[in-house]
Every structure is written in C-alpha cells, then in structure tokens.
Structure 1
C-alpha cells in the first residue's frame, strides 16, 4: 500500500524467528529476518500496534535514510543534508543513540556527538535557532547504526526498551528481562493450553508474561508512553482505536498459572507486580520450596523457570541441580519442564537427558534453554521380539 513504510524491530539473539512469526501474525508485510532484528512494512497504525503488541521486540525503528560513510566529514555532511526541521520543531528536544561496528569508526559516543553537531547546525542554518539535547526524555530519539561503511539513520518509535512493560516495580536479585521471558515462553511452545508453573518465580516475570500470552493481552498495555506519542504527527485517535481493537482480541483462559518461591520477599514482590499488571485473577503465588513440592493436578503441566546460575547467588550448584532433577523425576509426572541456565557445568548434574537444548543469551551470559519431558509413570519401551 502507498502509505506503508519500512520498519526494523530489534530483538535478542535467537528470537529472530519467533519475532518474525509475531509480526506476520499481527499483519506486517515483507517480513525479513536479520541478526538480532526483523524488518517489515506497515502503515502508521501498524507502527503503533507493533509497539503495543509485539512480545519479543526490544525497539521498533523507522528508517529515514541510508548512505555510505568513510570518515567523520562524510558522516557530518550526509547527516546535515537530511531535512531535520521536517521531523521535529526547534523547540523540541532530541537525543542520538549510535551503534558502531566499523574499521573507520571506533567510538559510538563520537558518532553521536558528530550527528548532534550536524543536526544542530542544520537548524541554525534553516531557522537561526538550535534545538536542545535531552538524553533522558527527548521528544525525538534518533538512531544511528554504522556497519562497515554503511550508515542507517532511523527514528526510534519506542523510546525506552520495550522490555519496560510498565508492570514490574519490584525486583529481586538477577531478575529476568520481560522480552527474554516472553521469548522463552514462546520458544517453549506456551500458548495457554494447560496449567503453568514457575517453581522459582522471583519477581513474577514468567507468570505475568505467561498470563498475557494465554489471554492474548497486548504485551505493553501497561506501559506509560511510547516515543511516537511525542511526534508532531502523532494521531491519538488512531492510537486509541488500535488499543481498543487489540484489547477486544483478548481471550478466556481456563487453566491455572502458579508461582512458587521460598523467599517471603520474593512472594511479596511478585504479587505486587502481578497486581500492577491487573493479572491477579489468573495467577496464584505461594511461598514454597520447590524441592518440597509435588504436582497438584492430573493433567498436563507446562513448567518454565530461571534457577540460580551461581553468578550472584552462592550455592553448591552440583547439589542444587541434582536435587532439581530428582524433584522433577519423582514428583512431577506429566510435565514438560523447561528452564534457562548459564551454568552449563551444573546442567550435567540434573541427571536427566534433555529432549531440547536451545542456545540463548541472558544479558551478556551465554545460556541454554533446556526441556525435560517427565512422563506419566515410567516411560514404556517397545519390546522387540526376534522372529
């Protein structure tokens, strides 16, 4: 369509395929996967919807210009040539974020500064005044990405990272990123098809994201603001319509979502976050030590959790992971048990063979998302009779 334009959704390593699937399902066109990003096309309404609904996107960028740069003067001239007064007014504030992977340019901060200078000088030449920079709360955030000699200039439609959902005000040690949590849930096949348990729930992020997936609640419905709301062409009526239509697509959920944690402080924080997300009717949080529990239902159970890696919490990892495996084996038949860990050595002590092992990253830590299928009773083997 004539009103469609290209956008780029940034994501975490390994989530490109599930993000592409999300974008297609939402209605995006010309979807193409890159490394830690997915490009697609849509109109202004779809830009609003992508920010509101995508669970595995970190940012939605709107590219406005692309060119070759070989040195700092090259960069300055080509940034200066852009018609910046058509994108924001001189009384508005702006900020520049730069990502650089190039032999010619070594420092992203220098690129940000050079870009800022070119934009300010452009305004001075056109309106004889300069806009101010506001690093924390700008009216327009500009993204510069240099790969080799290729420079892409984009407008940041999201603002702060989309993992800032708006519901999590209380956190514990080593909280899991909301986008990472949603992506792991989707990788594990969670769609709300049965009961769900996070036996080490911490601040409740898996629980909240699991409930929103199960009920098809927009991922960022609790977020206070998106960057595009400060743009001069922001269509508030259209945005409210997008919100209304998205909320009308929520669905009923007829199973249980339960979280355990042995720390009273974690239980309190998790409950606070679940209340903030308006998800209390779907989620129950209990103070329990997972190693003292057993499966509460007769049907299928989907489990996903983030056990300690030994990075920030000091534990005997070998014993801990062995006990984790014993608890699953003895007390959780009929369960698909998934967890993420960056302690690949400790993983060897679970004592069970994983049926899936997926490479992911938790922040800077290389990790594995592993799946253990706990069968009802003993796993029956087919007997082979020789003729």
Structure 2
C-alpha cells in the first residue's frame, strides 16, 4: 500500500476555492486553503492524478523538510540535514527554484547558491563527485521557500508550470494563461450542460478549456512530460493505470461550442490549437466581428471571453466596451455573459449592471471577472411572468 504524504498545489490569486473543490472531487484528503496555494494529502498515485487532472493548479510540490533559517550558516546546515541521495544520484542534474520573503535573506539567487553548495558538498563528501546544475531539463527540480525564519524544502513534481498543457503551439498578442482560463470557466459555473460561446476567442484557449471541462477530459493529457517521471520511485505502470482511469471518466457532449474572432490570423491559430488538443469535433471557430453578430442558438447560452484591455492592443476603449454592452443587450437574449478585464475604468462604459464581480489577477495586472445576465425580453417582463 502506497504511503500518504502532504502536497501543495500552487495556483493564481482568486482560484484557491476552485482548486480546493477540484481536489476534493478528485479524492484528496485534508484539503486546506492558503494564499495562492492549497495543501492536501494523498499517495503517489494521487500525485500523478493531480498533475494530470487539475485544471487550476500551476504546480504540485511534495514537501520533504522544514527547518528554521536565520542566516546562511543555518540555511546550509538545514539543507544538509536532508539525505539527498534518497532523491538524486551523483551523476544526475538538479536545479533549485527559490521564493524568499525574509529580512534574513535579501536575494533569492544567494539562497539558491547556498542550497546548491550544501547539496553538492554532501555528495562530494560521500561519493567523491557531485551532481551538476541543469536549468532547462534537470533530473530533479527542488523548491526552497523561505517565509521569515521558516524554510520549507519541496520536490517539484510538475516541472514546467501546469498551464503549459501541451496543445498550444500558436499564440496571439495577448494570450490568456490556460489555468486562468479554466479557473474563469469554473467560477462562471460552466459544466458542459448547454451551448457555449467565446465571441473574441483569440488563439482559442478558453474554447479548448471549455471543451475539456464539458467532456471531463484531463487538463494535462496532451502534456509531453512531468518532473516526477525522472524521480527514483517513478512507477510507469501506476501512471498508465491512473491515466486510463481518468480517460474512462470522459463523457459525451451534446451541445455546441462556438468561437468568433475578427482577425483571420487569430482564427487560424485557434483552429491549429484546437486540432492539437484533439477537440475539433466539439468546437467551431468562425471569422466574425462579435459586434455584427446575434444569438442563433436555441435555449440558454453560456458566454465567456477575454476582451482587449488596451494594454497591448491599440483600441478605442470607451467605444469598444460600449459596443460590448450594446451587442449583449440587443442581440444576445437568454445569455449569461462573463468576461475578464484588467481595465477597471472600461467597465463603466459597458452600460450594464454586472450581477457578479470577482477579483482576479491576469499576470501582474489586477482584473475583474464580471457577469452580465441578459434576459429573454426585459428583466421586468421575466419577473412578471414568474409571479
């Protein structure tokens, strides 16, 4: 029986509750929410499953040691307390990622250097030779986190950030991070039970994530590799078993997912990425300006999009956001429309009152995810009918 251990899933600000819910649904134990992270307990198979299936996690870390670090000497000694040959061979490679919030240490680079010295000195003393540093594709990725006097050392089981799903080969000027896209979709309540639209789809990230949620396809099924595949206890058979078990839980989708973009280059990129993700049968992408369209699908429509903020794209913000409001109001009845913007001023021009506002970050930019409920006929008529 595999032993259970504590793990940490890192995420973006505002997605902690969504990630905790995902973890509970997957079967994690002792789920606890922190800032930009959620801790949980599971075994090795669950660690594989978390990396494959979680939509809103950036990394899965496995803590292996904690100690107090007041200066470089106590840091060095604390790192040396770990038996590094349990995790790494002398002829292998490693890299150290550091996060430092401490008055004792001013530079994360210095902390990484000191930790590296402690590890290689241990190997030299034991074996006469040492593992070397490799930044791009190391055999072991080590995460050192110092918060005031507390130093936590973890193994990074993911490697490259989990937002790198493996399907996106073509990107636009201002692409949205896949983890943020999935988080927005889950916050919006998207579950695949209806028609979906992204009217400004760019390179297709929201469309792809929406289709994977609708069909319950594991988020990282297209990814080429995870860091744990190079660990000493790597179990290929267990990984295959976990992968098969997740794929057996995929489901049919009986509605439509549609994307519009007015730029031919964006449409081409979106189609390429959707093909890469093996999602062609679920998604249609059309070259169209949203402001010239109207709702053609019967029944309720779930709409999620990431309009330009004016950060990297040159647009007339007031006119643009007013047109968003006008198009929704005039042409999209029976629609729940959600969009994220990093331009909080621009929201004033939409001319509609949002029924929800959620604070998120898109990169370093503070953003709002807003919801507009467009009723069939007027809102007053809707409520009169209900009485």
Per the normalisation by structure 1, the TM-score is 0.98
Match of 1:226 in 2: 226
SS in 1 for 2:345: helix
SS in 1 for 2:79: helix
- Structure 1's unaligned 5+ residue stretches are none
Alpha-carbon RMSD across the aligned residues, in angstroms, is 1.2
- Structure 2's unaligned 5+ residue stretches are none
C-alpha displacement at 1:16, in angstroms?
A: 0.5
CA deviations on 1:145-180 (whole Å, 9 max, x unpaired) are: 000100000000000000000000000001000000
Query: How far, CA to CA, are the matches of 1:234 and 1:277 in structure 2?
Result: 26
CA deviations on 1:41-69 (whole Å, 9 max, x unpaired) are: 00000000000000000000000000111
C-alpha displacement at 1:298, in angstroms?
A: 2.2
Match of 1:364 in 2: 364
C-alpha displacement at 1:345, in angstroms?
A: 0.6
Match of 1:92 in 2: 92
SS in 1 for 2:75: helix
Query: How far, CA to CA, are the matches of 2:14 and 2:34 in structure 1?
Result: 11
Match of 1:318 in 2: 318
C-alpha displacement at 1:382, in angstroms?
A: 9.0
Match of 1:82 in 2: 82
Match of 2:342 in 1: 342
Verify the 8 A CA contact 2:376 2:382 in the aligned structure 1: no
Query: How far, CA to CA, are the matches of 1:98 and 1:383 in structure 2?
Result: 55
Runs ≥4 in structure 1, deviation > 4 angstroms?
Answer: 381-384
Match of 1:41 in 2: 41
C-alpha displacement at 1:319, in angstroms?
A: 0.5
Match of 2:12 in 1: 12
Match of 1:53 in 2: 53
CA deviations on 1:193-249 (whole Å, 9 max, x unpaired) are: 110000000000000000000000000000000000011110000000100010000
SS in 2 for 1:117: helix
Query: How far, CA to CA, are the matches of 2:338 and 2:382 in structure 1?
Result: 26
Equivalent residues in 2 for 1:1-387, closer than 5 Å: 3-380=3-380
Verify the 8 A CA contact 2:140 2:227 in the aligned structure 1: yes
Query: How far, CA to CA, are the matches of 1:298 and 1:196 in structure 2?
Result: 11
C-alpha displacement at 1:321, in angstroms?
A: 0.3
Per the normalisation by structure 2, the TM-score is 0.98
SS in 2 for 1:348: helix
